[in-house]
Structure 1
Amino acid sequence: MKQIEIGSVMIRRFSLYLIYCLAIALSGCKSSGSINAPVMSGSAQNGYYRVQHGDTLYRIGLRFNQNVNTLVRWNNLANANAIEVGQLIRVRKPVGVSRENTVKKQSSGNMVRQPAPVAVSNAVPDISLQWPVRGRVISMFNGQTQKGIDIAGNRGTPVKAAAAGTVQYAGDELRGYGRLILIKHSNTTMTAYAYNDSLNVRNGQRVQAGQTIATMGDSGTSGVKLHFEIRVNSQAVNPMRYLPE
């Protein structure tokens, strides 16, 4: 009996860890994480590092020869002292960012710090996408506080898969997203559907474009609406650019 209880605890811990990774992938104020985490074993891989026990942003900066302010900017961190074990931190220069904080001397000899450049995103979905539901867009993507769009509608309206893919997550354990579905469409592209009333699919299920996966609701929010995100290489992109008119 004791072995069975231990096994149940281990399974539950693994499940919670998986959910935590999904939360990192969708968090608006953390780095744009991924379900298939690009780091492992405490070292940087593909430009990212996973926070270990005892890490601080200062120590991470020392390890990878980066300024703390640089890490805060690359990862959109609201608080440099609030990183968590398991969190993904970008520690290498993002593609499209020139050398930052370039320091030059003026003729007076004073050191002048140049403004930090803005990262250039080349993320583009590698698939065709369709609207998950038709309705009035009431909240637009801004890349910071809003990583997707909100579409108004009526409770019970079918929510459809924007493209064919495999359900990576279907549940309500992620705070702020209500009943949520994540669908992986390719090695680079994923979509998210939040605030649903009911879920019609399960983890690991293969779905087709246009298949009903949920119904609209207000779980985790106020007012019936669908929150829809597109992630390319773990980076949120503006859905309005890739949905048909």
Structure 2
Amino acid sequence: MKITSPVILVMLVTLVTGCLSSRDFVSVERKFSSEEKTPGFHHVKKGETLFSIAWRYGLDFRTLANTNSISAPYTIYPGQKIDVRNVPRPKTTQASRSVEKPSKPPVPNTVKSQPEVKNSHSAPLTAASTSNAKWMWPVNGRLISRFSTKKPVNKGIDIDGALGESVLAAAAGTVVYAGRGLRGYGNLVIVKHNETYLSAYAHTSRIVVSEQDVVKAGQKIAEIGSTGTDKVKLHFEIRKNGKPVDPLKHLPAKRR
């Protein structure tokens, strides 16, 4: 017994120490998990941009940037916490029928995990002027669902079309988001036209542009599809200062 007791004692001490280490490790994991779900904050995921986050929460990207002390070119990083709780909501304003005169569009804020490398196929980030330009229809299909602020809410319009049909930029601008990170939109392209207006093209089957690309009005940016929905169609939105507006008040009247 005198020989085995110290051995047993050592084994017990080792076991207790191991248990404590295990509990400490678990508590760190739990703490990290709780931080990842901080109420009122959005945790940036790879592929997100400040524009896509603002779009998700219905906010003006400039106000969101100011609240979080993020300056142009609005670069954000995976894991970064973005305050979405204390951002003033956009006010309702009367829609205009033309795209307002833009200032130089900023470089999109693509989430970075490495030093920035420019895409070789991207156009220079100088604005294609949209001063006094008018909107154009992104596809020529039949209107199947209108903008509505009442239930069922529709933040844009839905347009019928054939699978693979070309989706065109409704006005000149810069692609600030191209991906599938926003729930309910499927493959989505967001184009920034100036400091006031952005447009979105959802449920596409294929995206043919990249973030930072400068596009002209009428340029193909995607193809009609059914990603994120149960019907082949294009969901099209226009936002003014971060607030959804009725696209039909901007688009030219369709010829019957």
TM norm structure 1 = 0.59
* CA distance in structure 1 between the partners assigned to 2:146 and 2:207 by the alignment: 24
Q: Which amino acid aligns with 1:243?
A: L
Which one of the candidate residues 55, 67, 77 is aligned to 1:40?
67
Q: Does 1:235 find its partner at 2:207?
A: no
1:87 paired residue number: 84
Does structure 2 retain, via aligned residues, the 8 Å contact 1:143–1:236? no
Q: Does 1:129 find its partner at 2:155?
A: no
Deviation at 1:153, TM superposition (A): 0.8
Deviation at 1:182, TM superposition (A): 0.3
Q: Note the alpha carbon deviations across 1:46-93, whole angstroms, 9 max, x for none.
A: xxxxxxxxxxxxxxxxxxxxxxxxxxxxxxxxxxxxxx963254558x
Deviation at 1:172, TM superposition (A): 1.0
Larger radius of gyration: 2
Secondary structure (helix, strand or coil) at the match of 1:16 reads: coil
Q: Does 1:142 find its partner at 2:148?
A: yes
Does structure 2 retain, via aligned residues, the 8 Å contact 1:24–1:34? no
Q: 1:163 to 1:137 in 2, by over 3 A?
A: same
* CA distance in structure 2 between the partners assigned to 1:89 and 1:139 by the alignment: 33
Deviation at 1:218, TM superposition (A): 0.2
Identity, in percent, stands at: 40
2:192 paired residue number: 184
Q: 1:244 to 1:223 in 2, by over 3 A?
A: same
For residues 97-116 of structure 1, the aligned pairs below 5 Å read none
Q: 1:18 to 1:87 in 2, by over 3 A?
A: farther
Unaligned runs of 5+ in 1: 1-12, 43-83, 96-119
Unaligned runs of 5+ in 2: 1-41, 70-80, 101-132
Does structure 2 retain, via aligned residues, the 8 Å contact 1:143–1:237? no
Secondary structure (helix, strand or coil) at the match of 1:154 reads: coil
2:14 paired residue number: none
Does structure 1 retain, via aligned residues, the 8 Å contact 2:43–2:82? no
Q: Relative contact order: is structure 1 or structure 2 higher (C-alpha 8 Å, sep ≥ 6)?
A: 2
Deviation at 1:34, TM superposition (A): 2.7
Q: Which amino acid aligns with 2:136?
A: Q
Secondary structure (helix, strand or coil) at the match of 1:191 reads: strand
Q: Note the alpha carbon deviations across 1:162-214, whole angstroms, 9 max, x for none.
A: 01100001111211111000000111111000000000100000000000000
Secondary structure (helix, strand or coil) at the match of 1:162 reads: coil
Larger strand share, 1 or 2: 1
Q: Which amino acid aligns with 1:138?
A: I
* CA distance in structure 1 between the partners assigned to 2:245 and 2:200 by the alignment: 12
Does structure 2 retain, via aligned residues, the 8 Å contact 1:123–1:233? no
TM norm structure 2 = 0.57
Q: 1:199 to 1:122 in 2, by over 3 A?
A: same
Does structure 1 retain, via aligned residues, the 8 Å contact 2:51–2:176? no
Q: Which amino acid aligns with 1:35?
A: F
RMSD: 2.7
How many residues of Structure 1 are paired with residues of Structure 2 in the alignment?
Answer: 164
